[in-house]
Amino acid sequence: MLRFVSPRCLVTYYRSMLIDDAGEFIDRGDAKRKLPAHQVTYKVMNEALEQYKLALRQARQSTQTTPKERARIFQKLMETSTRSSMLAPKPKNRTEHAREAQVYGDASLKASVESGDQCMTAQVEFMLACVAVWSMHLQNISGKSTDAESKVRLDLENALIKLKRYPELKIRLYEEQRKVYLGYLSDQSCS
């Protein structure tokens, strides 16, 4: 029987599983990402990315790091790279960060599958679908539009359906995130 575990408990649990140095870097990166919205800038997101990269380096050096721990760090890198892409002042930086988000997302997916945690895998697949929507948005505003828009929409919808299998997740938050990302497909300006 599954029981609800608060996100705060999960965060504490995952941090305690990581080696101390990686956990400290993760805390620093998280602190940057949790600033009030008006304080979150491109520079701040890049500082958070650097902290997560240091955490990944530390985790890779430890033989005790599990696939689940690696998946979490890669997931933070994916989410932060996506946010950096959204805040980047130059189109080139936006595209580079979106590509990085995809690479980190693929690594997170591989590690989460390796860990056997199907709920985590579904969450990573959802975020990867969001990254694909954002990348499509960037292509659209740069005039490099493709016919793949319906595919990324469908992938995002299917990823949300998968998440609904896990009652411990707050699906409303994922539904709101889906709306935000789908809005990028209808908005041809860059936010």
**Residue 100, domain member (yes or no):** yes
Residues 6+ apart with CB under 8 A from 65: 18, 19, 22, 59
Give the mean pLDDT of the chain.
88
Residue 95: CATH number of its domain: 1.25.40
Is 87 within 8 Å of 45 (Cβ atoms)? yes
To the nearest whole percent, how much of the chain has pLDDT over 90? 74
CB atoms within 10 A of CB 82: 24
- Segment 5-41, tens digit of pLDDT: 555 545 545 544 444 578 899 999 999 999 999 999 9
Is 131 within 8 Å of 102 (Cβ atoms)? yes
Report the number of distinct structural domains present in the chain: 1
CA distance 118 to 80: 22
Q: How confident is the model at residue 71 (pLDDT cuts 50, 70, 90)?
A: very high
- Segment 147-185, tens digit of pLDDT: 788 899 999 999 999 999 999 999 999 999 999 999 998
- CA nearest neighbour of 59 among 33, 106, 24: 24
**Residue 35, domain member (yes or no):** yes
- pTM score, two decimals? 0.84
Gyration radius of the chain over CA positions: 17
CA distances, 76 to each of 8, 130, 154, 160, 185 (Å): 16, 14, 24, 19, 24
- Segment 98-144, tens digit of pLDDT: 999 999 999 999 999 999 999 999 999 999 999 999 999 998 887 77
**Residue 133, domain member (yes or no):** yes
* Domain encompassing residue 18: 7-185
Is 73 within 8 Å of 26 (Cβ atoms)? yes
